[in-house]
């Protein structure tokens, strides 16, 4: 089975991607290749941040790899937290970040939001980008214990439950990351 490097140390993201790619690839993350560097995400967009991560791995390890940058964009908050989703509250803590969004959304009528993922792939030195978006709304309170990040307050359009109330298989069918990863998988199969 072919190996592919996922430029992340996030165990939750790694588990989601392994579930998506398990039939085609052995997915290794940064820990697996001995990369302990916290790769800076200094870009101004999800695409730039994802590309920074793949460029770092390629330049330092000479391995083909992919990385994603994902986040929540809330319409009433001028698309915040956006690229700052993982550290929106000033800390890298899911609960603190989620609570800040809920606090800022108190009393807001417009609850529209979207999750966005951009996957960057470096293959043979060439960079490719794949995007996935899922629209939804922000709940007034957290609900569910599955998932991670903002999953307990994000209800995807067409569903009456949050991502945190879905099992991983269902979330992997419809999520922003799943949409982007399906585009990546199609590309890998064709090339």
Q: Count CA within 13 A, CB hemisphere, residue 111.
A: 16
Which of helix, strand or coil describes residue 78?
A: coil
Predicted TM-score (pTM) of the model is 0.88
Output the CATH code of domain 2-190.
3.90.950.10
User: What pLDDT does residue 190 have?
Assistant: 83
Is residue 154's pLDDT more than 90?
A: yes
User: Active-site residue 69, yes or no?
Assistant: yes
Q: For the chain, which residues make up each domain, given as ranges?
A: 2-190
Which of helix, strand or coil describes residue 102?
A: helix
User: pLDDT by residue (tens digit) across 53-106?
Assistant: 999 999 999 988 999 999 999 999 999 999 999 889 987 678 999 999 999 999
The catalytically annotated residue of 69, 94, 157, 160 is 69
C-alpha distance from residue 70 to each of 1, 13, 112 (Å): 28, 10, 17
Q: What number of other Cβ atoms are within 10 A of residue 82's Cβ? A: 17
């Amino acid at each position: 089975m072919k190996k592919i490097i996922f430029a992340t140390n996030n165990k939750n993201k790694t588990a989601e991607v392994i579930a998506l790619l398990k039939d085609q690839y052995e997915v290794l993350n940064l820990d697996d290749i001995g990369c302990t560097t916290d790769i800076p995400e200094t870009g101004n967009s999800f695409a730039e941040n994802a590309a920074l991560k793949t460029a770092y791995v390629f330049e330092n390890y000479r391995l083909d790899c992919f990385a994603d940058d994902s986040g929540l964009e809330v319409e009433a908050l001028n698309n915040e937290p956006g690229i700052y989703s993982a550290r929106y509250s000033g800390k890298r803590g899911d609960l603190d970040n989620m609570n800040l969004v809920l606090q800022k959304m108190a009393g807001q009528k417009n609850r529209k939001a979207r999750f966005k993922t951009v996957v960057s792939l470096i293959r043979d030195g060439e960079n490719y980008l794949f995007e996935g978006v899922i629209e939804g709304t922000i709940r007034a309170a957290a609900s569910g214990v599955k998932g991670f990040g903002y999953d307990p307050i994000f209800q995807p359009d067409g569903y009456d439950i949050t991502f945190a109330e879905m099992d991983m298989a269902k979330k992997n069918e419809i999520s922003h990351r799943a949409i982007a990863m399906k585009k990546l998988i199609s590309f890998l199969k064709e090339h």
